[in-house]
Structure 1
Amino acid sequence: MGRQQVALVIHEGVQALDVAGPLDVFAEATAALTSSEGYDCLLLASDTAPLRASNGMAMIPHLSFRQAERQFDIVLVAGGPALPDAEPDAGMSNWLRSWGAQAGRYGSICTGAFALGHAGLLNERVATTHWQNAAQLAAQFPACRVEHDRIHARDGALVTSAGVTAGIDLALALVAEDHGAALALACAKRLVVVAQRQGGQSQFSPLLLPHGDPESPIGRVRDHVIHHLAEALSVDRLAEIAGTSPRTVARLFVKELGQTPHDFVESIRIDHARNLLEATDRPIKTIAFDCGFSSPQQMLGAFQRRLGLSPLRYRENFRSFPSDTRS
């Protein structure tokens, strides 16, 4: 494989790590390869005037869209905090439709997915973005199937990543695809990151509890569950709290929250367990019972199913107390 031509699309207010992370991965890979291999990376924007990233850093594009009217091997759009609510950039959309989609692989980092959506490149495709913006992406571009929990996603030539540092994961995956897992691992070690992290991005997102009338049936159930996690919270018990039949409370949960009563209770238990794993050194067995799981094994299964990693690994990743603690 010869040298890969990479275009990274930037814009005013871009997230600096969305740019620097992938570029550093490609630079590390290039340094380890022969001169006839590797990656030539260029920053593209509406014009070549300096841009200011969301953290205040100045960036200077190598080429304007007009100067970059040619095919690249890889095209990625970097995200930015303001991008989901920004008006579509006509110049960017036109270039992405004309040249971005012609690349062997094209896609986005973080909220750069919104730029792809405005260009019509997410229709009937699978994509991901930052967990905080995934619901908005799905609502704004209903023809796209948004994967809320993926660190990065691949749908044919389309590659998209979750938020910020997930762009590093995506770039490492592309390097592995081009030059093998060993080189991707070597790059990850140089950058002091994991070559392939465990679990999805749900492990980084807080549980978004539903709001609403606290005196409504769902409101009463929500309040009771939060304060009585250790109880046996069957559908019959939730119906009793809501003052409805089991069938009615199940229907209300699906209609108002988009999930079953069982899934709702499990979500609350997992989120409380996450908080205890992060902030205390209590044994995992104790946390499991305190959060209403019947056993540590049941909590393990729930964590693996929802977050893609074990409670122990979650604690190792996110604990806020010294590491010489009990597990």
Structure 2
Amino acid sequence: MKTVAVVLFPDLLLLDVAGPMEVFSIANRYLDPGDCYEISTVGSDELRVRASNGVVLTADMHIDDAPGAYDVLLVPGGPGAYNEVYPRLQCWLRTVAAKVGCLGSICTGAFILGQAGLLDGRRITTHWNYTERLAKRYPNARVETDQIFVRDGNLITSGGVTTGIDLALSIVAEDHGKQIALAVAKVLLVVMRRQGGQMQFSPLVASVAKEDSPVSRVQNYVLEHVTEEFSVERMASLAAMSSRHFARIFTREVNMTPMEFVQSARIDSARGLLETSDLPLKTVAYRSGFGSVRHMRYLFSERLGLTPSQYRRQFS
């Protein structure tokens, strides 16, 4: 029998806890008694905690009484994970990290692992909206921005919220084979392997402040005139800069090249049309500044892991 424990702390996301626990619980229906998962929860400070949605959870035991040597130990995310600090939990995680078979985080639970100093030198991920913040807070970790989950040795980290289910399914598949994991996925009405990564859920271009700087003026112009032709030279002229200087300043401030920004703006424009209209793909491509459906399809597949048609079926 394998042991699975989930850490509880105030202001966590309930689905980060319930999703993985349901995977292991449903897996038990298909396993012999001796192969089942023994599932428990561990409280970091108090046994009773209130989740971010208001639901109160009571942990099975306190970390002071927990055995520590779990086969799987998972840390959920939520506002409490990235807004608060838990010294006792940090100390406990550092102590048990080498004892557990698999240490994992769901969503922003990676921030708690970071507090405990467990991310340095590791490949990790988190919710797409927090990858940049995680990378800045823990610069010695390698943050993957488009992965559903990332496995690095005995450390496994997942993206946003429901990816905790994907993470748990992958553990079940490793422990008991793909057929058992597939049976669990069918009960939960989820797929064993999603098409694409987290990028398909996140905007490629963050909102641009209406500040009066050359770079932001160019960004806003591109977003408002996405069907026009753009080159580095033209954008540099809009900013009244030389092409070389503009490209250097733009890349430094926006963390992407000017042409990458144009491509991202067009993809986001097309995504909006695909989500909210039944326009033909040719029209979507034209209104989003792509020269052709073929070019739009290529960039969608390259950046999102989905074709425009697949994106429309999934999100409209």
Give the match for residue 243 of structure 1: 240
Which residue is 1:30 aligned to? Answer: 28
Q: Is the 8 A contact 1:48 1:62 kept in 2?
A: no
Tell me the percent identity: 47
The code of the aligned residue for 1:59 comes to: L
The equivalent residue for 1:4 is 2
Q: Residues 203 and 307 of structure 1 are in contact (CA less than 8 Å); yes or no, is this contact kept in structure 2? A: yes
Q: CA distance change for structure 1 residues 91 and 119 in 2, over 3 Å: closer, same or farther?
A: same
In structure 1, the partner of 2:134 is 137
1:293-312 residue pairs with structure 2 within 5 A? 293-312=290-309
Query: Does residue 76 of structure 1 match 2:74?
Result: yes
What SS class does the counterpart of residue 67 from structure 1 fall into?
A: coil
- Partners of 1:310 and 1:183 in 2: CA distance: 30
Separation in structure 2 between the aligned mates of residue 283 and residue 212 of structure 1, nearest angstrom: 33
Aligned residue for 2:107, secondary structure, equals coil
Do the aligned residues in 1 keep the contact of 2:45 with 2:88 (CA within 8 Å)? no
Give the TM-score normalised by the residue count of structure 2.
0.96
Superimposed CA distance per residue, residues 24-51 of structure 1 (whole angstroms, 9 cap, x where no aligned partner): 0001111111111121111001356321
The 5 A counterparts of 1:119-130 are 119-130=116-127
Match of 1:221 among 191, 196, 218: 218
Q: Does 1:52 align with 2:68?
A: no
> Where do residues 83-98 of structure 1 align in structure 2 (5 Å cutoff)?
83-86=81-84, 88-98=85-95
Report SS of the residue matched to 2:4.
Answer: strand
Q: How does 1:215-294 map to 2 (within 5 A)?
A: 216-294=213-291
2:207 aligned counterpart, secondary structure: coil
Equivalence for 2:193: 196
Contact 1:48 1:63 (C-alpha < 8 Å) held by counterparts: no
Q: Residue 147 of structure 2: SS of its match in structure 1?
A: coil
**Cα distance, 1:302 vs structure 2:** 1.2
The amino acid that maps onto 1:159 is I
- Selected match of 1:187 from 184, 194, 216: 184
* CA distance in structure 2 between the partners assigned to 1:203 and 1:125 by the alignment: 24
Shift of 1:71: 0.6
How much does 1:310 deviate?
1.4
Q: Which consecutive unaligned segments of at least 5 residues does structure 1 have? A: 320-327
Q: Distance in 1 between matches of 2:267 and 2:309?
A: 13
Using the alignment, how far apart are the partners of 2:125 and 2:98 within structure 1? 17
Structure 2: how far apart are the matches of 1:97 and 1:304? 40
1:208 and 2:206 correspond: yes
* Cα RMSD for the two superposed structures: 1.4
Asked if 2 retains the 8 angstrom alpha-carbon contact of 1:47 and 1:61, the reply is no
Q: Secondary structure at the residue paired with 1:68?
A: coil
Quote how far apart the aligned CAs of 1:82 are: 3.0
Q: SS of 1:82's equivalent?
A: helix
Stretch moving more, 238-247 or 269-278: 238-247
Shift of 1:239: 1.9
Q: What count of residue pairs does the alignment treat as equivalent?
A: 315
Q: Distance in 1 between matches of 2:44 and 2:26?
A: 28
1:63 maps to what in 2?
A: 61
Q: Which residue in 1 is equivalent to 2:17? A: 19
d(CA) in 2 for partners of 1:47, 1:235: 54
Unaligned runs of 5+ in 2: none
**How many Å apart are 1:290 and its aligned residue?**
1.6
The offset of 1:303, in angstroms, is: 1.2
Shift of residue 60 of structure 1? 1.1
Change (3 A) 1:101 1:311: farther
SS at match of 2:34: coil
Is the contact between residue 4 and residue 71 of structure 2 (CA under 8 Å) also seen in structure 1? yes
Moved beyond 6 Å, runs of 4+:
none
SS class of match (2:219): helix
Read off the aligned partner of 1:109 and give its amino acid letter. Answer: I
Distance 2:98 2:104 in 1: 9
Q: Is contact 1:47-1:63 (8 Å) kept? A: no
For 2:129 and 2:28, the matched residues in 1 are separated by: 33
